[in-house]
Amino acid sequence: MARIFGTDGVRGLANADLTPEFAMQIAIAAAHTLAEHDRTHPPVAIVGRDPRISSEMLEAAVVAGLTSTGAIVVKAGVLPTPGLAFLVTSTGADLGVMISASHNPMPDNGIKLFSATGHKLADEIEDEIGDAILAMQAGTFAWERPTGDRVGRVHDLLDGAEHYATHLVDSAPNSLAGLKVVVDCANGAASTVAPAVYQAAGAEVISIYAEPDGVNINDGCGSTHMEALRAAVLANSAHVGIAHDGDADRCLAVDENGDVVDGDQIMAILALAMRESGELTDDTLVATVMSNLGLKIAMADAGIKLVETKVGDRYVLEALQAGDYALGGEQSGHVILPSVSSTGDGVLTAVRLMARMAATGRSLSDLAGVVQRLPQVLINVRVGDRNDAVADESVRAAVDAASENLGATGRVLLRPSGTEPLVRVMVEAPTEELAQATATTIADVVRTVSPVA
């Protein structure tokens, strides 16, 4: 049976796949599961959301579900996902619930759950919650509804975002004075926090796409649409551009020439800075298999070890915790600094990146040049069944043939999306043409074996 939770919580089309009824079931199951692990008190849950319209609807359902179990709910309102995780740990709450579909289009939404440590729940806990949800849907989940004064209460946390912003400013290793930054907030959860943090840390800030209206989140802007940011950096002669997604757990950048600086390059810059300051534990960086070979080469040349994981920030975090490492992340811009944040934090990443620029006086293009990226092509193939498509023999044969043809000069990576009905085909090769041709050939096979109904 497929897991209810993907690599980044539960996600789907709001009010169709992710309905208020389903959101309420998730909340009830989460509260009961936590209570089974700790019977000393009713759980205290902090609930946050991004500004898309459906987040208001789902927040109401989540709050109702939690309080129906006797849980105490603290509503933090609109704030970035890492801000929600920070508030969970700083207030001593038992659970965090973030309502957001991150970089997905506005009609989608999602629910992410965080433990008392500010980390995403372990797979086994998510599976327990999933089992409870399935039991509810089957009508076999028995629970006693509290009544009277045992029903949960709801409180508002009015200054949660401000506490989070102060935490980020305090984490800056040096002032950002002298830098002009354009920040694209994706009309999302960072629209107020990110510009305020960068300005308080010393930078001159120009904000774009920082006026959320409930429907414009990620709409032609943010980390998945970098064109407007690139133009704004050039038009304003800025030193750097920062792009966030809808819930600000990722950060991509644009250098002074208008060129995109991806998560691999950002991680390399931070890794070298942290090694210099003595913060990089065991001179090790954690990244996923999706990272460009250029990152691996650059780190090897610099004497920094690279630990590779499966795709997904939860797997990066697991490796960070297992090795007590200090830095890890993904090419997409999810970067984790465990000493400061329990999860990927795009605003924190941007602060650290700009701090390195300010401290060295070097341009972003110069700093990012440490990574010479191999041409990389990623094709997202919409399929009927993502897992069956990846396992198909003809698809595997196409991948094997392509890998043999590329040899040591490139690689092929095929994986199902953790949140969408997609198969991701990634190819690296010595030339853009070869990478594109190879990826297209494999993608065509995938479409053939698993057509969309």
Give the model confidence (pLDDT) of 387-398 as tens digits.
Answer: 999 999 999 999
Whether residue 165 is contained in a domain is answered as no
Instruction: Specify the pLDDT at position 46.
Output: 98
β-strand partners of 154: 73
- pLDDT classification of 293: cutoffs 50, 70, 90: confident
Strand, coil or helix: 44: strand
226 with 269, same domain: the answer is yes
136 with 174, same domain: the answer is no
Q: Which of 7-11, 28-32, 92-96, 187-191 has the lowest mean pLDDT?
A: 7-11
Question: Could you tell me the maximum CA-CA distance found in the chain, to the nearest angstrom?
Answer: 70
β-strand partners of 305: 284
- pLDDT classification of 243: cutoffs 50, 70, 90: very high
Instruction: Specify the pLDDT at position 2.
Output: 58
- pLDDT classification of 34: cutoffs 50, 70, 90: confident
Please say which residue of 159, 184, 199 terminates a domain.
159
Report which of 110, 120, 100, 97 is spatially closest to residue 19, judged by C-alpha positions. 110
- pLDDT, tens only, 108-136: 999 999 999 999 888 899 999 999 999 99
214, two tokens: 């409930």
Report which of 108, 93, 110 is spatially closest to residue 31, judged by C-alpha positions. 93
- pLDDT classification of 38: cutoffs 50, 70, 90: low
- pLDDT classification of 8: cutoffs 50, 70, 90: confident
Calculate what percentage of the chain has a pLDDT beyond 90: 87
Q: Average pLDDT, whole number, for the chain?
A: 94
Whether residue 353 is contained in a domain is answered as yes
Instruction: Specify the pLDDT at position 311.
Output: 84
Please say which residue of 120, 136, 159 terminates a domain.
159
145 with 294, same domain: the answer is no
Report which of 21, 11, 31, 18 is spatially closest to residue 112, judged by C-alpha positions. 11
48 with 142, same domain: the answer is yes
What is the rounded CA–CA span in Å between residue 97 and residue 299?
A: 36
Q: Which of 122-126, 185-189, 240-244, 442-446 has the lowest mean pLDDT?
A: 122-126
- pLDDT classification of 1: cutoffs 50, 70, 90: very low
Instruction: Specify the pLDDT at position 39.
Output: 61
75 with 37, same domain: the answer is yes
Q: What is the mean pLDDT of residues 322-345?
A: 96
Please say which residue of 130, 159, 188 terminates a domain.
159
The domain that holds 274 is classified in CATH as: 3.40.120.10
Hey, which residues are catalytic here? 102
Q: What global pTM score does this model have?
A: 0.89
With beta carbons less than 8 A apart as the criterion, state whether 86 and 341 touch: yes
398 with 301, same domain: the answer is no
What is the rounded CA–CA span in Å between residue 427 and residue 438?
A: 7
92 with 195, same domain: the answer is no
- The domain tally of the chain equals 3
Whether residue 24 is contained in a domain is answered as yes
Helices 263-277, 293-301: inter-axial angle, 10-degree rounding: 20
148 with 191, same domain: the answer is no
Instruction: Specify the pLDDT at position 11.
Output: 93
With beta carbons less than 8 A apart as the criterion, state whether 92 and 64 touch: no
Q: What is the mean pLDDT of residues 177-199?
A: 98
* Residue-level length of the chain: 453
What is the rounded CA–CA span in Å between residue 76 and residue 63?
A: 12
CA angle 216, 219, 221 (to 5 degrees): 115
Instruction: Specify the pLDDT at position 412.
Output: 94
Residue 123 domain boundaries:
10-159
155 with 191, same domain: the answer is no
With beta carbons less than 8 A apart as the criterion, state whether 419 and 313 touch: no
Whether residue 104 is contained in a domain is answered as yes
With beta carbons less than 8 A apart as the criterion, state whether 286 and 309 touch: yes
- pLDDT classification of 409: cutoffs 50, 70, 90: confident
344 with 223, same domain: the answer is yes
Whether residue 28 is contained in a domain is answered as yes
CA distances in angstroms from 301 to 297, 360, 374, 447, listed in the order given = 6, 21, 16, 39
Instruction: Specify the pLDDT at position 154.
Output: 98
β-strand partners of 180: 204
Whether residue 4 is contained in a domain is answered as no
